[in-house]
A and B are shown apart, each in its own frame.
Chain A
Amino acid sequence: GIQVEQSPPDLILQEGANSTLRCNFSDSVNNLQWFHQNPWGQLINLFYIPSGTKQNGRLSATTVATERYSLLYISSSQTTDSGVYFCAASLLTSGSRLTFGEGTQLTVNP
């Protein structure tokens, strides 16, 4: 099956800083999603982005499917951005089974 690797595993920022999270995947994908898991465990949808670039407020994401990676950009970080960020992908041949990476634990300090 597909393998999904995220980096860095941990990231500590001061409020107001920018950051880039990376997701590498091992095969062609038909679905790629970014999630934020808040301290209460809820997975919040950030982007559905099998290819191209999208922006939503301070967050943006880019997936380069031909090179098998996706990037999540967080600008002007806030303490409420803290939590775990997951990248998840699925193959066309695996139906819609999402394979998750190990996540990036983000801590934003005031």
Chain B
Amino acid sequence: EAGVVQSPRYKIIEKKQPVAFWCNPISGHNTLYWYLQNLGQGPELLIRYENEEAVDDSQLPKDRFSAERLKGVDSTLKIQPAELGDSAVYLCASSSDRDEQYFGPGTRLTVT
């Protein structure tokens, strides 16, 4: 069974540029999560989807971050414009309902 797929794995952009990350969850998992991991810390939730609906986005900085999960499968997380402080690893995870979460390999973003 394929795991959570994320792309790109690495991204380097200049500040003020836009960037997008893509996630394909494990087949059959209806719940999808985006987490942010800063260096030396544990991941923190940005947004959680149950099917197509964003049910927990209280930690998402909505002035510059946006996300979508069309058709309840793949998801895209966007930052526009990026700031230096956005440099981090962006992790996608999925689960069946509220059960065990499985994480993708992450996208390492560097903003210069």
Mark contacts of B41-59 with chain A using CB atoms, 8 A cut-off: 1 yes-contact digit, 0 otherwise.
Answer: 1111100100000011000
Chain B binding surface, main DSSP class: strand
Is A43 touching B45 in the complex (CB atoms < 8 A)? no
Cβ contacts under 8 Å, A103 to chain B: 41-42
Write the A43-68 contact mask toward B (1 if CB under 8 angstroms, else 0). Answer: 10100100000000000000000000
Interface assignment of B31: CB less than 8 Å from any CB of chain A: yes
Chain A interface size range: 20 to 34
Which A residues lie within 8 Å of B106 (CB)? 41-42
In the complex, what distance in Å separates the CA atom of A103 from the CA atom of B44?
Answer: 13
Closest to A42 in B: B105
B84-110 with Cβ < 8 A to chain A:
89, 91, 95, 97-103, 105-106, 108
Which bucket holds chain B's interface residue count? 20 to 34
Q: List 10 A-B contacts (CB under 8 A).
A: A31-B100, A31-B101, A40-B105, A41-B89, A45-B103, A98-B33, A100-B41, A101-B42, A103-B41, A103-B42
Asked whether any CB of chain B lies closer than 8 Å to the CB of A14, the reply is no
Q: Which of B27-48 contact A (CB under 8 A)?
A: 31, 33, 35, 41-45, 48
- Known A41-B89, A41-B108; judge A95-B55 contact (CB<8 A): yes
Q: Hey, which bits of chain B sit against chain A, CB under 8 A?
A: 31, 33, 35, 41-45, 48, 55-56, 89, 91, 95, 97-103, 105-106, 108
Do B103 and A95 touch across chains, with their CB atoms under 8 A apart? no
Chain B residues with CB under 8 A of A28: none
Across the interface, A98 reaches (CB within 8 A) one of B97, B101, B108, namely B101
Interchain CA distance A43-B91 in the complex, whole Å: 9
Which residues of the other chain, B, contact A95 by a CB distance below 8 angstroms? Answer: 48, 55-56, 98
A102 and B39 alpha carbons, distance in the complex (Å): 11
